[in-house]
Structures are given as C-alpha cells and as structure tokens.
Amino acid sequence: MDKTTLGTEHALLDAAIEAAQGLGVAVEIVQRNPQLGRTRADALVRVTHGGQEVLYAVEVRRTLHPATLGAALQQLERLGQQAMLVTDYVTPPLADELKARHIAFLDTAGNAYLEQGPLLVWVKGQKLAAKPAAMTAGRAFQPTGLQVLFTLLCNPQAVNRPYRELAEMAGVAHGTVGWVIPDLQQLGYVRDLKGKRGTRRLFELERLLDEWVTTYARVLRPRTLLGRYYVPTLEGWKDWPLAEYGALWGGEPAAAVLTDYLRPGVLTLYADKLPGLLAARQKFMKEPAPGHTAVVEVRKRFWNFPGDPRHNNLVPPLLVYADLLATGDARCIETAKMIYDAYVARPLTEG
C-alpha cells in the first residue's frame, strides 16, 4: 500500500481517537499495521474506560455505506472477535446495524459502540462538523481499472500477459492496462521479481481483493444495471434457458447453485444487453403489478474471459461474492462467506 493511502488511514484513526476522548474513552495505539495470522490489521489499540482495559484489532474504512458494509464485516471477521471498525461517520441506521451485530466501532464524529465484559460505550446521532473529503482513488480503482483488476483477481497469472491480451480479457482499451499496471506497481500490488521480465506477480492479494470489492460496490456496480424488472414468479428459475440468450446467472441465483444454501429473493443475470426474447418469454414488466412482483435484475457483462467450466452458466465466483456483499442483506453476507471460503480464497493463494 502506498504512503498516501497509509497516511489517510492514520489520519482517520487519529481523528477517531481524538473524538473518543470527548466521550471519556482513552484509546492508545499499541502498534500500526500488525500482522495477525494471515491477515494484517490497520492497527492494534488499547481502550481504557472506567478502569476497564481492552485490546482491539482495528479495520479503518472511509465512507461507510450500506453497499460497502458487507465487505467491511468480512474483513472484521478475519480479524477475530476483538475487532473494531473505525470510519469517518456512522449514520444512526448503520450504528443500529453494527450494534445488532455486536461490531465495535468508532467514528470521527464521536459515535461509538464498545462492549466487552463490563465495558459499554454506546453513542449514536452525533453529526460531523464538516463533510468528509471526497476519496481520491487511484486510476486502477476507476471503472475501467476495476475491470482490469477483476480480470487479474480471477486470473492472477494473467498479470504476465501482453497488455493487449489482458485488455481483451478485461473488455477495456489497450491503453487502460498501460496505466493500471504502473498504478498497481506504485501501490505495491504488482512487482517484477528481481526486475526480470515475465516474473511479474500480484502481492497482498487479500487486501487488493478487499479494496476491489469495496470500490466495486460504490463505483462499478451501479453502472452495470441495465434494468430492474418484475415477473410473475421466481419458481422454476433454474429452468430458464439463459445459454440460448448469451446470459449468465449472478448474485443470489448463482450463489444458490454454488452453495445449495441460499434461496434467491432476487434473480440477477448478466448479459451484453437485455435478452429481449427471454424477457418476452418470462413476461418481464418494467413496473410491479398484481401478479408481477418478483424481481429480476439485468446487469451488463463487463469481462471477456471464460468462467469455471463446471459452472458455465454462472458469472465468476468473485463477482457472486461481491454482489452478495453489496446487498447488505444478512443472509446474503452469510452466503458470501461460504463462497469466499470455497471458491475465492483458493485461487488467490495459488496465484
């Protein structure tokens, strides 16, 4: 991670600590960026209040939204039970959600939830004195850069392919790869081993994936929605002939196939454009109506490489994982963890 990103995280944590002091809570940084098993925390802090002392592993997040909550929860789970979320601002609804999940948090406005044994601090509704500064993402985390990152995270060895081939896989212009790879090198996610050509590798894949999932939910995912439609029923969705129309299942139906656990509440399919014949066959309507209340999302396919041959009617598992987290729904987040463990983590380790 580059110095600018680290500096921003350090400043945010320092501001949250200062806000906590106004609540009578003493927070001391024990160590920055400690390695905890396979996962690195942003900090290890000691919280002291009312004679009680607790250590927390900290995950720092900018601009927490419902769509990025799932990704934050996944990272906090990897840090263990004594984990704390630190962010710019937690809205009252998100504060209630975090408290219900027993997730400790601090923000820079002075909102907080800490509960360990006799220690209890619960404050919500405090407002920021000033709006948080807009995030300045690197070019690799702009929409087309995120497409390149998605391709690399699904195919880590592709980082050594010629730029033109990688661009074709990612569905972007050749020049896009030309500025994404140097950006990733500057951020420390890509390096050439011993400076030799053909030995380029991705590093800190878990953190890169976490950043991609979070930024995807805010930046790229909203752009992929081609339409939201209503059908008479979701029953029998597995029999829809998507292959005939060049479409793939994503989101909840893809998760149902991969895990045999989740029952879809919304059908998500990816295609180059709205498959009109399928829409007519399944009686898609643009507005809900009596007998037409089941929801189908059609999203734009943004990659150009084959998926897992065992599941050739599904989008790549990484995208299923990211879309589930972006819903913010508890059952989807639980299923996302299952998909991460079974399908996403292994390729990252092998890459």
Q: Is the dihedral of CA 159, 74, 254, 327 positive or negative?
A: negative
* Whole-number Å distance between alpha carbons of 180 and 177: 5
- pTM value is 0.86
* Whole-number Å distance between alpha carbons of 339 and 174: 32
* Whole-number Å distance between alpha carbons of 85 and 62: 10
Instruction: Write out the DSSP string of 274-294.
Output: --HHHHHHTT-BSS-BTTB-E
Average pLDDT over residues 34-47: 88
* Whole-number Å distance between alpha carbons of 318 and 250: 10
* Whole-number Å distance between alpha carbons of 181 and 159: 8
Q: Is the dihedral of CA 38, 39, 45, 47 positive or negative?
A: negative
At residue 337, does pLDDT exceed 70?
Answer: yes
The rounded radius of gyration (Å) of the Cα atoms in the chain is 22
Rounded to a whole number of angstroms, the distance between the first and last alpha carbons of the chain is: 19
* Whole-number Å distance between alpha carbons of 71 and 68: 6
Average pLDDT over residues 248-267: 95
Per-residue pLDDT, 133? 54
Residues 6+ apart with CB under 8 A from 235: none
At residue 119, does pLDDT exceed 60?
Answer: yes
Judge whether 87 and 78 are in contact, CB under 8 Å: no
Per-residue pLDDT, 131? 63
Name the amino acid, one letter, at 128: L
Per-residue pLDDT, 5? 54
- For the segment 154-168, what is each residue's pLDDT rounded down to a tens digit? 999 999 999 999 999
Per-residue pLDDT, 30? 94
- For the segment 282-335, what is each residue's pLDDT rounded down to a tens digit? 999 999 888 888 999 999 999 999 988 889 899 999 999 999 999 988 899 999
At residue 96, does pLDDT exceed 80?
Answer: yes
Judge whether 105 and 88 are in contact, CB under 8 Å: no
Per-residue pLDDT, 3? 44
> Which residues, in sequence order, are bridge partners of residue 230?
285, 295
* DSSP element (H, E) containing 104: strand 104-107
* Whole-number Å distance between alpha carbons of 312 and 64: 34
User: Looking at 110-114, 147-151, 202-206, which range is the least confident one?
Assistant: 202-206
Judge whether 172 and 147 are in contact, CB under 8 Å: yes
Half-sphere exposure of 285 (CA within 13 A, CB side): 12
At residue 136, does pLDDT exceed 80?
Answer: no
Name the amino acid, one letter, at 39: T
Cα–Cα nearest to 237, from 247, 225, 249: 249
* Whole-number Å distance between alpha carbons of 101 and 267: 27
- For the segment 120-134, what is each residue's pLDDT rounded down to a tens digit? 899 999 988 766 555
